[in-house]
Amino acid sequence: MADTRRPAKSGTTVKRKGESADVLRGYYEQMVLVREFELRASEMYARAKIGGYCHLNLGEEATVVGLMAALQERDYLFTTYRDHGYAIIRGMDPGAVMAELFGKSTGVVGGRGGSMHMFDYALRMMGGYGIVGGQIPPATGAAFAINYRSEAGKDAEAVMCLLGDATTNIGAFHESLNLAGLWKLPIVYVIVNNRLGMGTPVERASAEPDLYKRGCAYRIPGVRVDGDDPIAVRDAALAALEKARVERQPAILETMSFRLKGHSVVDPARYRSTADNEEAQENDPVPAFRNRLLNDGVLDAAAAEAIHDAVEARVTAAVDFADSSPDPSPDDLFDFVYATPVANASRAYPGDPVMATS
């Protein structure tokens, strides 16, 4: 499954182009944070601290950091169910994210969402979506609302909608792109292409495996970038978001990366060959970016080690917080069933009498 269509790699050094050393070190620290958080989440799942589905960003850290660096606070983000890293880098507290994975009341949505449904309206993180492609229509609708209520310009809002490579084959993707192209909506669709739709290579599922071209029928331009380079991802996303704001031009951004583990934590990925796994490890973005920073003099070995130690302590604190947090109370089960109070809404449990006796 070697992918000859990947963008050229960025090399062994960082092309500074005026980049602040502090910014570059910050990107590396964020990538390490996502990596360590996801490794610990996998461990906690194995210890039965986390239930349900759990999908990790392992191998996609550079894409996560680059995309989040491009977003403004006023922008809206819709993600897939592989959402932990985006939630943390967007601004959610790692302890609250881990608590959500544990199903605790201190989680970002009170333990109601779990792994696939991180949400924080204040951060305009509009949720992970458990249904493949379920995020695309509401994200497109949010872009329509922006168009409807405000003028285009540099300070306008925009929407970023993340999706996986296999999602480009569902109907909602094409229906949404048609509307975005027709109505000139300020949205950037980001295809996070980790080369596998669950266990199926892109080339075996898509008649057009160059997924950034899939918008051409709707006059939506697309570009492919090296998803293992946070700077390349950031710059491509910034350019696409700028056009979305100023020109109301929707866009597709395809980021190419390797998924280091299976589709979810319970997937042993036996469909991958030894060569595939070796290629993925060789392209691991975290050590690759660290080496680039070392070669460019942005980091030294001691500074890199200090970052790892600080991140490990932070993730350990997140696990401790989640583990010591209380479970949700059954008394709160019916909270938030409706967005606003509804008269006579039932709060009865199974076995309760239908009508209370006087």
Token pair 């892109």 in the structure block, residue: 202
Q: What is the DSSP secondary structure assignment for residue 212, as one 8-state letter?
A: G
159-164 and 76-79 strand pairing: parallel
Structural fold of domain 21-328: Rossmann fold (3.40.50)
Per-residue burial over 110-140, b = 16 or more CB atoms within 10 Å of its CB, e = otherwise: bbbbbbbbbbbeebbbbbbbbebbbbbbbbb
Pairwise CA distance, residues 152 & 184, whole Å: 11
Contacts (Cβ under 8 Å, ≥6 apart) of 288: 228
Contacts (Cβ under 8 Å, ≥6 apart) of 134: 172
Q: What is the pLDDT of residue 352?
A: 84
Mapping DSSP to helix (H, G, I), strand (E, B) and coil, where does residue 213 land? helix
Pairwise CA distance, residues 38 & 98, whole Å: 10
What pLDDT tens digit does each residue of the chain (358 aa) get?
444 456 666 666 666 567 899 999 999 999 999 999 999 999 999 999 999 999 999 999 999 999 999 999 999 999 999 999 999 999 999 999 999 999 999 999 999 999 999 999 999 999 999 999 999 999 999 999 999 999 999 999 999 999 999 999 999 999 999 999 999 999 999 999 999 999 999 999 999 999 999 999 999 999 999 999 999 999 999 999 999 999 999 999 999 999 999 999 999 999 999 999 999 999 999 999 999 999 999 999 999 999 999 999 999 999 999 999 999 999 888 988 898 989 988 888 888 887 655 4
Pairwise CA distance, residues 316 & 310, whole Å: 10
Pairwise CA distance, residues 27 & 61, whole Å: 10
Any bridge partners for residue 161, and if so which? 78, 189
Pairwise CA distance, residues 175 & 2, whole Å: 31
Q: Where are the domains of the chain?
A: 21-328
Q: What is the pLDDT of residue 102?
A: 98
